[in-house]
Structure 1
Amino acid sequence: MGKNNDIYYYLSLLSQLGITMIFSILVCVFIYKVISKFIGENIFLFIFFIVIGVAGGFYNVYRLVMRK
């Protein structure tokens, strides 16, 4: 019974990590879209926000893993 609970624990942790990573990137893309309406589209600004989203996602994933 304990081994089965471990599988569910790690499966839920893995899905939580994936959702956290994707959500961080999507939030930064949304912020880029809002800003690009005012200043125009810029590929460098888009890449900047993607990098910020990935970095924020990795930071949140790190915090989740260290907490568990």
Structure 2
Amino acid sequence: MERHNLKYINIHALRHASATLLINEGVHAKIISQRLGHSDISTTMNFYGHAIVEADKIATETR
């Protein structure tokens, strides 16, 4: 990390970043839920629902 001047990111932040990036790329919430190991899509929606709403808003404005 020092050699490449990268910021330290703990595993939970990395997991959150990954899920948010997938949402912003338009990956279906069910797929993201499975990747995160959530047994129910509602768990994913409770944690990342705000990001899905924001991604939809951005998509509406740019298309």
TM-score interval w.r.t. the shorter chain?
Answer: 0.3 to 0.5
TM-score (norm 1): 0.35
